[in-house]
Amino acid sequence: MLRIGVIGYGYWGPNIVRNFNAIDGAKVTSLCDLNEDALGKAKKLYPSLATSTDVQSILSSKDIDAVAIITPVFTHFELAKKALENGKHVFVEKPFTSTIAQADELVELAEKKNLKIMVDHTFLYTGAVQKIKQLVDEGELGKLYYYDSMRVNLGLFQHDVNVVWDLAPHDFAIMDYVVPERPLAISATGEIHYNSFEDIAYVTVYCENNVIAHFNVNWLSPVKVRNTLIGGDKKMLVWNDLEADEKVKIYDKGVDVKTRENVYDLLVSYRSGDAWVPRIAQIEALRLEAETFVDCVKNNKTPVNDGLAGLRVVRMLEATNASIKDKGRLVEL
Amino acid sequence: MLRIGVIGYGYWGPNIVRNFNAIDGAKVTSLCDLNEDALGKAKKLYPSLATSTDVQSILSSKDIDAVAIITPVFTHFELAKKALENGKHVFVEKPFTSTIAQADELVELAEKKNLKIMVDHTFLYTGAVQKIKQLVDEGELGKLYYYDSMRVNLGLFQHDVNVVWDLAPHDFAIMDYVVPERPLAISATGEIHYNSFEDIAYVTVYCENNVIAHFNVNWLSPVKVRNTLIGGDKKMLVWNDLEADEKVKIYDKGVDVKTRENVYDLLVSYRSGDAWVPRIAQIEALRLEAETFVDCVKNNKTPVNDGLAGLRVVRMLEATNASIKDKGRLVEL
Amino acid sequence: MLRIGVIGYGYWGPNIVRNFNAIDGAKVTSLCDLNEDALGKAKKLYPSLATSTDVQSILSSKDIDAVAIITPVFTHFELAKKALENGKHVFVEKPFTSTIAQADELVELAEKKNLKIMVDHTFLYTGAVQKIKQLVDEGELGKLYYYDSMRVNLGLFQHDVNVVWDLAPHDFAIMDYVVPERPLAISATGEIHYNSFEDIAYVTVYCENNVIAHFNVNWLSPVKVRNTLIGGDKKMLVWNDLEADEKVKIYDKGVDVKTRENVYDLLVSYRSGDAWVPRIAQIEALRLEAETFVDCVKNNKTPVNDGLAGLRVVRMLEATNASIKDKGRLVEL
Amino acid sequence: MLRIGVIGYGYWGPNIVRNFNAIDGAKVTSLCDLNEDALGKAKKLYPSLATSTDVQSILSSKDIDAVAIITPVFTHFELAKKALENGKHVFVEKPFTSTIAQADELVELAEKKNLKIMVDHTFLYTGAVQKIKQLVDEGELGKLYYYDSMRVNLGLFQHDVNVVWDLAPHDFAIMDYVVPERPLAISATGEIHYNSFEDIAYVTVYCENNVIAHFNVNWLSPVKVRNTLIGGDKKMLVWNDLEADEKVKIYDKGVDVKTRENVYDLLVSYRSGDAWVPRIAQIEALRLEAETFVDCVKNNKTPVNDGLAGLRVVRMLEATNASIKDKGRLVEL
């Protein structure tokens, strides 16, 4: 039985507790939050849960095997570091840390102590992303050309980070998982209309082999959009995460190019065949992710969303912020 | 009767001839194209039309008052210049010219000779754009925050320009018309997957007063998207040009911010009221534009899409290309 | 404190227990189901709940004020009758009963004993239906012409009723609530493709003043549709219940008719103005319904979905079945 | 060269003239209309066209091989009869005639004189319907269960027929073409809100082998809908004719039924696999139909939309009207 201590019971924490508790072989035994009301609510649902407002009760407890850190990003490093130092596996909310240096240190520490880190990139465990990953891996799309994502809606404004750190970790993590070509450099732009954090941002990521990725994130959109286009030289796909039943569509569309002999210009023609809507497995992503964490801890496996994946996402976030500050200046990764 | 000579009878030329011919007080009297087949087709539809493969027949004719130039962009400058020098008004396909310097010279020449230039920014004459312009002018949206456009589809690859020069002139012209804040600088990125022209590009335009504009143009998308979001501090709108009946939707949505006394952080709350789909006039944009050209020539008026508007669009195109070449480097306008 | 006994803990029962328990001034004290596993699950969530497989424990308990009957329709009458005879208020799943006679008897019994009946027409408590009701009542649509509903999807086949008794109660109840004109007669058609119950049916309800209502219900549709059109002489509305944010749209569209003097035919012209998407309150319908039930019991009020409303829906269901059997024969209500 | 005389140059006539003129081996030589303005417009476009306000100029001309009758339905019979009597092939607007008796007489007459009749069921020549026909014929959907069509919009009110005779001929003709099972009987309902013709109607057609077809036609809808569902025991399809690119979607969805031994009830399970959007050929339906007419005349072939097809549609229209008058009474075909 993996005994899990959860730190943070705000917006997302209840989902974490519920899902870890639903797994055979795991149990949330302790919960910590500064808000006594939140603890009271948890206690009602899970009477046997030990609750406390003191994180030490979890970080230094001998009866806890793993710690789930569901707190604001600026606290991740300190909490995760102590948990690892005390020999506990760590499940941590995305984004992993506030800086690359912090992420590096945690990854190294975990490795030294032979502990697991999982960063909560939940989307990787959705049926849609798993189907997309499969399609790319099987070469269905051919050689990739671009990855273009739009994730916009009204609010929620965060108090400590800009729209990039709030929304883009989802998409950076998905791209990191799905696109085989490594990201090389970032040019990003954005604007601030309230307080001191960007509420709109546009991020271009240059990758190997001429793959270009782009991310449109916006807290000031009147409509909610969750749309991703992925184009390859064989096929292209559209992923609309707001569709109930038909999230992913693959198009047998593309460009055929022939070079005529002795002729400098290209003969470009268009291919437009059938489209195809694969059945997407109806899995609860967070449940599958929690199960994977438990499995990785118990059987010494490495999840796809390990500390290194978290580090790669933080590296893109840091570069994005640096580029935005300099109005699009190219920042190497 | 305004006598019009048309140069170029390829994809767009037939629409120009048809629309100018439909106006009382104007008549297309001559047509020039290098392709004899094209001339033959035109002759069948308009038996009284004089056709020729020699542009001089139009540029130097004494029986022609205005010239419509519907040819590839690299020819615009030479043709327009000669037409103006010969005392003819000019209607010219977008983009206006290949360089700012050319546009400048044409604008100056027209002014000196008291002739009219109209650049074919057809979209300005659509019911949708006119409604959006009216909404912004009447302050319905409040102070603007952003302008975000996506114009993507499969092909058509151009042989002489990249996707920016092909698709963005539409959106640059619309933004120039609708957004009161002046553009200040551009950071743009893009990628080449075939021959030597970018087929995907992302353009950020920084404007006065923290307005940020963004343009996503792509020749390699499996689906056609024509979507623009415009956000203000009072309301926000979505323009989907592919909708048959409900192209523009205005949302009474936004963010209300209060600063608490002696407190550094902001109280942000969200406003979400009714939405509204205004009736859009069903006008044929090109007809209205042609009528406006004839009216401007006859009554010495200046159209919104005059040479200066064309120049402003070319300035943005040139800056975009320069920025893309330097991977996002900020280029002042 | 209203003490509620719930009978039936299958698909819908858990929602009923959860919502009644969430209301101040009410508490689910007993639960009955034939399935011991279901009772076990309930017990885990609500440790203080008394559970039993014997309905008498609820129907004859002196410590229960109201009974919620969440069982198959053929059991409603017996259970509700005993509950009323024992002096308990009744909340009963839709459709109310299997026959008009049963519904009549229950309504009479409740009246005699001064007890409340509420039939679970949950949709009446949704923000969308409440907005539509308000629009009709305020005359926004003008004199009504038609009510046209489509409710189709794949499955779920019921074991004891046809698609009409499964899906149409929703729409019959909504029409009964929203449309002021009384239904007069029904012509319905349908077809059986598996076992012995219709899986597809089409129902026309003739109402007073030339209002015509139509219901398309289908268990064999590959796509889920929840669409209702309501037309009046002033405005028309579309209600798409699957839209996340914009469920109801009102169109300022219609027909203007003038009779020319001395001329027999009509001058018909079309009006097409703005459309409007009202903000719909985000209420949990079942919670509001449960609160209303408690309020009606405590303060001796009559809900809109009382026994008489349930009876009117059963009358339409019975007439529909009779008409389907006779392939569209008109059945008076 | 097939010489065609066209009678009627109102809303649809210009398309007929344009398309027949575009075919090699055919030519519209004469045009008749009561409206001299209409004739003037045609003359401008086709200077060599002989125009007249007298139908005899076409019906009795020796220089005309075929007559296209593009006039109101109540005139079809007289005009077609005279054309056939004078030895001319007939292309006639839908619906074929006002009564079954008329259709019968024309079919017989044409057969006796060995002349061709084609009824303008244009939809049969669209890429979408041809793809659907192919899918059904190849058994892709399996044994058919139902055909459910919705064709609604605002107006246009006709002066001489109700909404059934205006809109349903399209769908009746498509069903007649696509569904192999013969229609047996009709139950229909409708309502009149202006003058004396139904503006809303609902038609159920019972077919062989338990296939049920339904048609929802409405002149008073605020939104335009062109939607057809076709369900079979293997697959189901949705045809949305308003979609630009993805008109037809095939769903690998269905119901699997097993009968358990010694058990009276059915085990029903649902199958939900991939969906598929076949590429639809971009053909101009009217052009293809016109070519087919010319081909049938020249090579003595019988088109799918011959007089008998027209007759079958009129039979359904007549039965529908009879059933509506009797409020849903079943009318055998």
pLDDT along chain D (333 residues), means of 10: 96 94 92 95 87 95 96 96 98 97 98 98 97 97 97 82 96 98 98 91 98 97 96 96 93 78 60 91 92 97 98 98 98 96
Bridge partners (DSSP) listed for residue A3: A27
Half-sphere exposure of C302 (CA within 13 A, CB side): 10
* Partner D contacted by A114 (CB < 8 A): no
Specify the 3-state DSSP secondary structure of C195: coil
Residues of B in Cβ contact (< 8 Å) with A222: 229, 231, 235-238, 251, 253, 275
* Partner C contacted by A154 (CB < 8 A): no
Would you tell me which residues 163-192 of chain D have a C-beta closer than 8 angstroms to some C-beta of chain C?
185, 187-192
**B146/A218 CB distance under 8 A:** yes
Alpha-carbon gap: C187 to the closest alpha carbon of chain D (Å): 6
Residues of A in Cβ contact (< 8 Å) with D275: 246, 276-277
CATH number of residue B243's parent domain? 3.30.360.10
Bridge partners (DSSP) listed for residue D154: D220
CA angle A103, A109, A110 (to 5 degrees): 90
Buried b (16+ CB within 10 A) or exposed e, C95-134: bbbbebebbbbbbebbeeeebbbbbbbbbbbbbbbbbbbe
Query: What pLDDT does C136 receive?
Result: 98
Residue pair B110/B307 in contact by the 8 Å Cβ criterion: yes
Domain boundary among A93, A115, A137: A115
CATH number of residue B50's parent domain? 3.40.50.720
* Partner B contacted by D224 (CB < 8 A): yes
Which stretches does DSSP call E strand in chain A?
A: 2-7, 26-32, 50-52, 66-69, 89-93, 117-120, 144-154, 183-191, 200-207, 212-218, 220-232, 236-240, 248-259, 266-277, 331-332
CA–CA separation, D69 and D66 (whole Å): 10
CA–CA separation, A125 and A145 (whole Å): 24
Q: Are residues D217 and D325 in the same domain?
A: yes
* Partner A contacted by C245 (CB < 8 A): yes
Shortest CB distance from A274 goes to which of D272, D273, D276?
Answer: D276
Residue pair A208/A143 in contact by the 8 Å Cβ criterion: no
Please give the interface size between C and D, counted as residue pairs whose CB atoms are below 8 Å apart: 163
* Partner C contacted by B40 (CB < 8 A): no
Is the peptide bond between A237 and the residue preceding it cis, with omega within 30 degrees of 0? no
Which chains does chain A touch, 3 or more C-beta pairs < 8 A? B, C, D
Alpha-carbon gap: C81 to the closest alpha carbon of chain A (Å): 36
Residue pair B331/B204 in contact by the 8 Å Cβ criterion: no
Residue C89 lies in a domain: yes
Alpha-carbon gap: A234 to the closest alpha carbon of chain B (Å): 11
Query: What pLDDT does A288 receive?
Result: 97
Relative to beta strand A200-207, strand A183-191 is antiparallel
Please give the interface size between A and B, counted as residue pairs whose CB atoms are below 8 Å apart: 161
Shortest CB distance from A220 goes to which of B145, B189, B194?
Answer: B145
Residue D163 lies in a domain: yes
Q: Which of A124, A192, A206, A121 is nearest to A163 (CA)?
A: A192
- Which amino acid is residue C306, in one-letter code? D
Please give the interface size between B and D, counted as residue pairs whose CB atoms are below 8 Å apart: 9
> Would you call A282 exposed, middle or buried from its count of C-beta atoms within 10 A (0-12, 13-18, 19+)?
exposed
**C330/D330 CB distance under 8 A:** no
Domain boundary among C80, C115, C150: C115
Bridge partners (DSSP) listed for residue A32: A7, A52
Residues of D in Cβ contact (< 8 Å) with B47: 47
* Partner D contacted by B224 (CB < 8 A): yes
* Partner D contacted by B48 (CB < 8 A): no
Q: Which of C121, B22, B97 is nearest to D44 (CA)?
A: B22
- What mean pLDDT do residues C241-263 have? 81
Residue of chain C whose alpha carbon sits nearest to that of A223? C245
Residues of C in Cβ contact (< 8 Å) with D238: 222-223
Question: What residue has token string 């919009």?
Answer: D153
Q: Are residues D169 and D27 in the same domain?
A: no
Residue D301 lies in a domain: no
**B278/C279 CB distance under 8 A:** no
Alpha-carbon gap: D132 to the closest alpha carbon of chain A (Å): 14
Half-sphere exposure of D309 (CA within 13 A, CB side): 27
Residues of D in Cβ contact (< 8 Å) with B224: 244-245
Q: Are residues D84 and D143 in the same domain?
A: no
Residues of B in Cβ contact (< 8 Å) with C237: none
End-to-end CA distance of chain A: 41
Asked if residue C189 has pLDDT above 70, the reply is yes
Residues of B in Cβ contact (< 8 Å) with C273: 279
Walk across the sheet containing C50-52 and list its strands. Answer: C50-52, C26-32, C2-7, C66-69, C89-93, C117-120
pTM reported for the whole predicted model: 0.92
Residue B264 lies in a domain: yes
* Partner C contacted by A268 (CB < 8 A): no
* Partner B contacted by D298 (CB < 8 A): no
Q: Which of D235, D127, D121, D215 is nearest to D174 (CA)?
A: D121
Range of the domain at D145: 125-284+315-332
Chain D interface, best mutation among C144, C162, C163, C191, by max D CB count within 10 A: C191
Residue of chain D whose alpha carbon sits nearest to that of C223? D238
Residue pair D190/D323 in contact by the 8 Å Cβ criterion: no
Per-residue pLDDT of chain A (333 residues; tens, 9 = 90+): 999 999 999 989 999 999 999 898 999 999 999 999 999 989 888 888 999 999 999 999 999 999 999 999 999 999 999 999 999 999 999 999 999 999 999 999 999 999 999 999 999 999 999 999 999 999 999 999 999 999 999 986 677 899 999 999 999 999 999 999 999 999 999 999 987 899 999 999 999 999 999 999 999 999 999 999 999 999 999 999 999 889 999 999 988 776 655 545 556 678 888 999 999 988 899 999 999 999 999 999 999 999 999 999 999 999 999 999 999 999 999
Q: Are residues D163 and D216 in the same domain?
A: yes
Question: What residue has token string 């061709």?
Answer: D116
Relative to beta strand D117-120, strand D89-93 is parallel
Domain boundary among A58, A89, A115: A115
Q: Write the DSSP symbol of residue C157.
A: P
Specify the 3-state DSSP secondary structure of B3: strand
* Partner B contacted by D279 (CB < 8 A): no
**D279/A274 CB distance under 8 A:** yes
Q: Are residues A165 and A267 in the same domain?
A: yes
Please give the interface size between A and D, counted as residue pairs whose CB atoms are below 8 Å apart: 26
Split into its structural domains, chain C has a count of 2
Which helix (H) or strand (E) segment holds residue A56: the answer is helix A56-59
**B244/D245 CB distance under 8 A:** no
Residue pair C198/C220 in contact by the 8 Å Cβ criterion: no
Walk across the sheet containing A89-93 and list its strands. Answer: A50-52, A26-32, A2-7, A66-69, A89-93, A117-120
User: Which residue pairs, CB below 8 angstroms and at least 24 apart, start in D97-105?
Assistant: D97/D73, D97/D310, D97/D314, D98/D73, D98/D74, D98/D314, D99/D314, D99/D318, D100/D311, D100/D314, D100/D315, D100/D318, D102/D76, D102/D77, D102/D314, D103/D307, D103/D310, D103/D311, D103/D314, D103/D315, D104/D311, D105/D77, D105/D81
Q: Are residues A190 and A273 in the same domain?
A: yes
Which chains does chain C touch, 3 or more C-beta pairs < 8 A? A, B, D
Nearby residues of C3 by Cβ (< 8 Å), 6 or more positions away: C27, C29, C63, C64, C65, C66
Q: State the ipTM, two decimals.
A: 0.94
User: Which pair of structure tokens corresponds to residue B25?
Assistant: 């007080």
Query: What pLDDT does A163 receive?
Result: 96
**C222/D229 CB distance under 8 A:** yes
Q: From residue A196, how far is each of A193, B245, B266 by CA, in Å?
A: 8, 40, 10
Kindly report the backbone phi and psi dihedral angles of residue D212, in degrees, each rounded to the nearest multiple of 5, phi listed first.
Answer: -120, 135
Q: Are residues B161 and B279 in the same domain?
A: yes
Residues of A in Cβ contact (< 8 Å) with D249: 277
- Please list the ranges in chain B whose pLDDT falls under 50: 263
Question: What residue has token string 């002349």?
Answer: D115
**B255/A148 CB distance under 8 A:** no
Query: What pLDDT does B304 receive?
Result: 98
Residues of C in Cβ contact (< 8 Å) with B277: 249, 274-277
Shortest CB distance from B251 goes to which of A185, A187, A222?
Answer: A222
Kindly report the backbone phi and psi dihedral angles of residue B244, in degrees, each rounded to the nearest multiple of 5, phi listed first.
Answer: -70, -50
Residue of chain A whose alpha carbon sits nearest to that of B195? A266
Q: Are residues B163 and B137 in the same domain?
A: yes
CA–CA separation, A120 and A13 (whole Å): 12
Residue B307 lies in a domain: no
Q: Are residues B153 and B82 in the same domain?
A: no
* Partner B contacted by A265 (CB < 8 A): yes
Q: Are residues C259 and C186 in the same domain?
A: yes
Alpha-carbon gap: B221 to the closest alpha carbon of chain A (Å): 7
The string of DSSP letters for D121-185 reads -GGGGSHHHHHHHHHHHTTTT-SEEEEEEEEEEE-PPPSSS-HHHHHHHHHHHHHHHH--SPEEE
* Partner A contacted by B202 (CB < 8 A): yes
Residue C257 lies in a domain: yes
CA–CA separation, C12 and A37 (whole Å): 30
CA–CA separation, A23 and B197 (whole Å): 53
Residue of chain C whose alpha carbon sits nearest to that of B278? C274
Query: What pLDDT does C75 receive?
Result: 96
**Number of H-type helices and E-type strands within chain C:** 9, 15
Shortest CB distance from A154 goes to which of B204, B270, B275?
Answer: B270
Residue pair B227/B216 in contact by the 8 Å Cβ criterion: no
Q: Are residues A6 and A152 in the same domain?
A: no
The string of DSSP letters for C261-286 reads TT--SEEEEEEEEEEEEPPPP---HH
Residues of D in Cβ contact (< 8 Å) with B223: 245
Residue D298 lies in a domain: no
Nearby residues of B217 by Cβ (< 8 Å), 6 or more positions away: B151, B152, B163, B164, B166, B167, B168, B171, B200, B201, B202, B203
Q: Are residues D6 and D60 in the same domain?
A: yes
Residue C304 lies in a domain: no
Residues of C in Cβ contact (< 8 Å) with B279: 252, 272-274
Residues of B in Cβ contact (< 8 Å) with C279: 252, 272-274
**Alpha-carbon torsion, ordered C187, C193, C199, C204, to 10 deg:** -10
